[in-house]
Structures are given as C-alpha cells and as structure tokens.
C-alpha cells in the first residue's frame, strides 16, 4: 500500500469505536431500478457466444421491439440450446421495454432450457431473472431466482460469481425485510470471495442499520483496506463513526470523500453531514 493510500485509509476508518447508543441511521441511498435492470440485461454468457445471440443482443440495445420480434421468431424455430439463447434475447428486449415481470419469466424459462453441462450460463440467466424481478420491485419473487443461480454457480466452481450473487440475494432479502437472512448471505459472499470490497461494505451498512456498530466498524475497515479510494466506503465509515459518538473520526472520513470524489453524489452527502456536524455538534440523521 502506498503512503497516500495508507493516509487515506486512516482518514476513512479511524480507530475502533467504543460501544455507544446509536442516534439512528441516516437515510440510505436506495438501490436504483436502473442498476437491477442493467444487471438483468447483462450480455455475459459463455466464453464463446453464438453470433446470432450477439447480434440479437446488440439489436435490443437500439431497438428493443424489433429485437423481441426477431427473438420470438427465432425461438419458434429453434431447437436445443438455441431455444435458451433466443429466450435470453427476448428477456433482454423485455427489460429494455421495462416489462420486467415478463423478462423475469422468460429468463427463468431460458435457464431451465440450458443443459446441466453449462451451469455457468444457467447461473447467469438465473441472475438475470432475479435482477429483472428486482427492477420490477418484486424482491420476494427475486429471492428464489438468486438462490438457484447461486447453486448453479457453486456447481460450476465459480466462487467469484457465487459471491456476487450472494450480494444480490442479500439486497433482495433486505428489500423483503429479512435482514438476518441477508446477513447470512453476506457472510457467504465474503467467504466465497474475501477480496470483494462490496461484500464488506454492504455487510458494514447492514450491521450499522441493525445497531451492531462494533461489527460494522470491523467490516468497514476491511472494505477500506481492499478499496481505499472508494467514496462510498469513506461515506459509510463516517456514518458509523458519527453514530458511535466519534465526531472527529466522522469528520475525517467525510473529508476523505471530498478528497477522492469531490463531484460525486457521495460528496454531496458528505458535505451535508459535515455541515450538520459543524452546526449541531451531532451525528448525521
């Protein structure tokens, strides 16, 4: 780690807090529908994508209705693995048209049509089904799709994919008001890929929301070690410090956000929190 990175890390996380009564979590940045829609519309498949599928996916990016019609015609005459590929394109086109429930269903159908010899592609299609459900604000419907996708990824020996899917599952579980199950999913995500800072960051956020500030502090420190220039890490570190009655550590963390990303959305929140700390001598609300 460079000296600059080490200094930034210290600014982000500060020392371990003592146990204090939290003042209540600040409003969270909501997961955007666009994020789930983009994940549902992922063009990742197998290492060598069939050209017809690639062409259909590219068409969907420009003309979703035409791509859907083309994929529907393709599927009507397809056999074997091509039926899943055609359904994949149908699902992407439906996502582009914001017809998320239909997209979820066709991605699920496509997954079922992929052979057991290609669990990685099955995992990706299952993930697309789950993310389509999330984009449609149907968290409970997303959960079983993510669970099946995780099983497929583990079957394929793809721990990095499984880790990302556990994070998606945790996001769905939080939205479905099942925080303890979400904690378990994030535990599995960190175990599957300990080097993924997202899993540590989201674990810290959830622990903080549940008032487990010591646990949140340990997790945000690990996130900062793995990604010392991530402004979302610095922002969360500041919130944890503020709720732990460590205003100076909170101030340093928020200032680190302004240093690494002065024009981002996180910087806007950091400035608001800094102003609140200055004006009220209190923790962010």
**What is the rounded CA–CA span in Å between residue 251 and residue 217?**
16
Of the listed ranges 51-55, 138-142, 173-177, 209-213, the one predicted with least confidence: 51-55
Q: Domain coordinates of the chain in residue numbers?
A: 1-25+211-285, 26-185
**Are residues 23 and 243 in contact, defined by beta-carbon separation less than 8 angstroms?**
yes
**Domain 1-25+211-285: which CATH class?**
mainly alpha
**What is the rounded CA–CA span in Å between residue 141 and residue 72?**
25
Q: Do domains 1-25+211-285 and 26-185 have the same CATH topology?
A: yes
**Domain 26-185: which CATH class?**
mainly alpha
Asked if pLDDT for residue 219 goes beyond 90, the answer is yes
Q: Tell me, what's the pLDDT at 37?
A: 55
Q: State pTM to two decimals.
A: 0.80
Of 154, 131, 152, nearest in space to 143 by CA: 131
Instruction: Summarize pLDDT for 186-213 with one digit per residue, the tens.
Output: 999 999 999 999 999 999 999 999 999 9
Asked if pLDDT for residue 21 goes beyond 70, the answer is no
Q: Tell me, what's the pLDDT at 278?
A: 86
């Amino acid at each position: 780690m460079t000296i600059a990175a080490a200094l930034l890390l210290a600014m982000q996380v500060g020392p371990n807090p003592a146990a204090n009564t939290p003042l209540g979590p600040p409003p969270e940045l909501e997961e955007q529908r666009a994020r789930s829609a983009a994940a549902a519309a992922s063009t990742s498949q197998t290492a060598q994508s069939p050209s017809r599928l690639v062409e259909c996916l590219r068409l969907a990016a420009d003309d979703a209705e035409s791509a859907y019609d083309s994929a529907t015609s393709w599927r009507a005459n397809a056999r074997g693995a091509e039926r899943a590929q055609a359904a994949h394109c149908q699902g992407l086109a439906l996502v582009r048209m914001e017809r998320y429930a239909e997209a979820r269903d066709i991605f699920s159908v496509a997954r079922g049509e992929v052979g057991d010899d290609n669990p990685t592609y099955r995992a990706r299609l299952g993930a697309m089904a789950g993310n389509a459900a999330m984009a449609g604000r149907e968290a409970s419907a997303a959960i079983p799709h993510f669970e099946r996708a995780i099983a497929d990824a583990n079957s394929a020996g793809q721990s990095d994919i499984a880790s990302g899917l556990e994070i998606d599952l945790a996001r769905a579980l939080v939205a479905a008001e099942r925080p303890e199950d979400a904690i378990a999913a994030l535990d599995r995500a960190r175990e599957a890929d300990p080097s993924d800072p997202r899993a540590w960051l989201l674990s810290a956020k959830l622990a903080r929301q549940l008032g487990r500030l010591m646990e949140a502090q340990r997790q945000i420190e690990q996130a900062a070690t793995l990604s010392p220039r991530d402004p979302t890490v610095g922002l969360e570190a500041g919130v944890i410090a503020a709720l732990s009655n460590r205003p100076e550590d909170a101030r340093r963390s928020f200032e680190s956000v302004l240093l690494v990303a002065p024009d981002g959305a996180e910087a806007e929140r950091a400035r608001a929190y800094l102003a609140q700390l200055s004006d009220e001598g209190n923790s962010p609300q």
